[in-house]
Amino acid sequence: MMFRKIVTTVVVCCLVLSLALMMAGCDAIRGFVESDNQYQELLQDATEPDVDDGSPVGKTAPDFALTDSTGHEMRFSDINGKPKVLNFWASWCPPCREEMGAFQEEYTKNGDAVDFIMINIGTQGDTLDTAKSFLAENSYTFEPFLDHAGEGAGAYRVTGVPTTVIIDGDGIIAAYYIGAINSETLHAELVSVLR
């Protein structure tokens, strides 16, 4: 009887914890820092407003190092000339998995006019190979990139995944979304930067 009560309590606690984690999104930044104090400092920096409202919208998109699908190290600035969808994601993240269909739909429609830079954050076991496998298994055809050092996540103040940044053809951030983006919103943002 006592054992059954303990097991029931443990199961309920696990379910509550799982639900809380899913509702909060996927906390990605912890994979990039070495201590909880450093995490708290990064989180505070990311949530404290700058002199203006702190929004990256309207500012020049920062440059950073990333790895392309062939394992080649490159700079974000090497991909230029077109509007961009920059998405920070992880294969283990449920909200990231949810929004991938919207990205594939828009990539199919607008892949010639817009660069889709789908950046796996490379934490909790994700590698370039696991990212490529996840995309292939789900018939997603866009190229995965990897931010294994966290430079891109730091430059764009990513505190969790998914995070989506829409950048116009002049390299100015047009929109910034934390959490899963739906297909209607993604489409509207792309229509806006393609004008």
Both tokens assigned to 13? 């606690």
**With contact defined as beta carbons under 8 Å apart, do 82 and 170 qualify?**
no
CB 14 within 8 A of CB 145: no
For the segment 89-142, what is each residue's pLDDT rounded down to a tens digit? 999 999 999 999 999 999 999 999 999 999 999 888 899 999 999 999 999 999
- Is the confidence at residue 149, as pLDDT, over 70? yes
pLDDT beyond 60 at 22: no
pLDDT band at residue 73, thresholds of 50, 70 and 90?
very high
Indicate if the pLDDT at residue 46 is higher than 90: no
pLDDT of amino acid 58: 94
Written as six digits, the tokens of 128 are 């370039």
User: How much of the chain exceeds pLDDT 70, in percent?
Assistant: 73
pLDDT at residue 152 greater than cutoff 90: yes
Question: Measured in whole angstroms, how far is the alpha carbon of residue 19 from the centre of its chain?
Answer: 20
| Averaged pLDDT of the chain | 82
- Element holding 21 (H helix, E strand): helix 2-24
Structure tokens at 67: 């790895």
pLDDT confidence of 13, banded at 50, 70, 90? low
pLDDT value at position 50? Answer: 38
Rounded CA-CA distance 182/57 in Å is: 19
Higher pLDDT, 185 or 47: 185
Which domains are present in the chain? 26-193 (3.40.30.10)
The mean per-residue pLDDT over the stretch 72-77 comes to 94
The confidence band for 53, taking pLDDT boundaries of 50, 70 and 90, is low
Contact assessment for residue 79 and residue 117, using Cβ atoms and an 8 Å cutoff: yes
Look at 122 and 29; give whichever has higher pLDDT. Answer: 122
